[in-house]
Structure 1
Amino acid sequence: MVFLGLGLLAVFGEPLFIIIGGAAFACFHFVLHISPATVFTDFYRLTSMPVFVAIPLFIFSGYLLADSRVPEKMLRLTNALLGWLPGGLPLVALIGCSIFTAFTGASAITIVAIGTLLYPAFMKDNYPEHFTLGLLTTCGSLGTLFMPCLPLILYGVIASQQTPLNVEDMFVAGLIPGVLLVILMWIYTLFFGAKHPRPGSKRQGFKWSEVIAATMDIAWELPLPFFIIGGILGGLFSAPEAASIAAAYVLIVEMFINRDMDVRKLIDVIRRSMIMNGSILIIVGMALGLTDAFVTLSVPEKIFSLICSHVTSKYTFLLMLNIFLLFVGMMMDIFSACAIVVPIIVPIAARYNIDPVHLGIVFLANLELGFITPPVGMSLFISSIKFNKSFPTILKSVIPFFIVLVIGLILITYIPDLSLYLLKFTSHKGLIDPTDLL
Structure 2
Amino acid sequence: MSIGLFIALFLLLVLASFPIAGSFLLSSLLPNLLGNFPFNIQLAFRSIVAGMNSFPILAIPLFIFGGVIMARGGVSAALFRFFAYFIGDKRAGYPCAVITTCLFYGAISGSGPATTASVGSMTLPILANLNYNKNFSAALVGVSGALGIIIPPSIPFIVYSVVANVSTGELFIAGVLPGILIGLCLMLYAYFYCWRQGEDRVKLMENYEEIRSDGFVKVLLHSLPALLCPVVVLGSIYGGIASPTEAAAVSVVYSLIISLFIYRNITYKDLPQIMVEGIKNIAPIIFIIACAVAFSRVLTLMRVPALVKATVLANISSKVAILMMVNVILLFVGMLMDTLPAIMIFGPIFYPLAIAADINLLHFGIIMVVNLAIGQTTPPMGINLFVTSSLTKIPVVVLAWQAMPFLFWFLAALMVITFVPYVSLALL
- TM-score of the pair, normalised by structure 1: 0.89
**2:80 counterpart residue number:** 75
Which residue in 2 is equivalent to 1:211?
216
Residue 406 of structure 1 aligns to which amino acid in structure 2? L
C-alpha distance in 2, partners of 1:333/1:7? Answer: 14
Higher mean C-alpha displacement, 304-313 vs 190-199: 190-199
Letter in 1 for 2:176: L
- Per-residue Cα deviation, 1:151-180 (whole angstroms, up to 9, x for no partner): 1212112221xxxx1100110000111110
Letter in 2 for 1:260: N
Give the whole-Å Cα distance in 1 for the aligned partners of 2:87 and 2:216.
10
Identify the residue that residue 170 of structure 1 maps to in structure 2. Answer: 171
The answer on 1:56 being equivalent to 2:61 is: yes
2:130 equivalent to 1:128: no
Counterpart code for 1:13: S
Q: Is the 8 A contact 1:126 1:200 kept in 2?
A: no
State how 1:335-346 maps to structure 2 within 5 Å.
335-346=340-351
Q: Contact conserved, 1:177 with 1:412, CA < 8 A, in 2?
A: yes
Give the gaps of 5 or more residues in structure 2. none
Whole-angstrom distance in 1 between the partners of 2:188 and 2:69: 33
1:366 aligns to 2:379 (yes or no)? no
Contact kept, 8 Å, 1:43 with 1:285, in 2: the verdict is yes
- Give the 5 Å matches for 1:101-250: 101-160=106-165, 165-198=166-199, 200-201=201-202, 202-203=204-205, 204=208, 207=212, 209-250=214-255
How is 1:246-257 mapped onto 2 (pairs within 5 angstroms)? Answer: 246-257=251-262
**Cα deviation 1:288-331 (Å, max 9, x = unaligned):** 12222222221111112222232111100110111100110000
**Quick one: percent identity of the two aligned structures?**
27
The answer for the alignment partner of 2:360 in structure 1 is: 355
How many residues get paired? Answer: 419
Q: Tell me, in whole angstroms, the C-alpha distance in 1 between the residues paired with 2:189 and 2:11.
A: 43
**Hey, what does 2:30 align to over in structure 1?**
26
- For 1:6 and 1:373, locate their aligned partners in 2 and report how far apart those are by CA, in whole Å: 22
Which residue of structure 2 aligns with residue 262 of structure 1? 267
**1:430 matched to which residue of 2?**
none
What is the distance in 1 between the residues matched to 2:266 and 2:128?
31
Q: Distance in 2 between matches of 1:258 and 1:327?
A: 42
Query: By how many angstroms is 1:251 displaced?
Result: 1.8
Task: State the SS of the aligned residue for 1:270.
Answer: helix
> CA RMSD for the aligned pairs?
2.3
Q: TM-score, normalised by structure 2?
A: 0.91
Which AA in structure 2 matches 1:317?
I
State the Cα deviation string for residues 390-411 of structure 1 (Å, max 9, x = none): 2222111101001010100111
Q: Which residue of the partner structure matches residue 435 of structure 1?
A: none
Structure 1: where are the runs of 5+ without partners?
Answer: 424-438
Cα offset, 1:275, TM superposition:
2.6
For 1:383 and 1:113, the matched residues in 2 are separated by 10
Q: SS of the counterpart of 2:57?
A: helix
- Aligned match for 2:297, one of 292, 297, 305: 292
**CA deviation vs aligned residue, 1:352-397 (integer Å, no higher than 9, x gap):** 1111111110011111110111111112222222112122221111
Q: Which residue of 2 aligns with 1:308?
A: 313
Partner Cα separation in structure 1 for residue 284 and residue 184 of structure 2:
34
Alignment partner, residue 392 of structure 1: 397
Measure the CA separation in 2 of the matches of 1:385 and 1:207.
Answer: 32
Change in Cα spacing, 1:87 to 1:15, as seen in structure 2 (3 Å) is: same
**1:325 and 2:326 are equivalent in the alignment:** no
The answer to whether the Cα contact below 8 Å between 2:130 and 2:200 also exists between their aligned partners in 1 is: no
* Greater alpha carbon shift after TM alignment, 137-146 vs 26-35: 26-35
1:208–1:174 distance in 2 versus 1, CA, 3 Å = farther
1:382 maps to what in 2?
A: 387
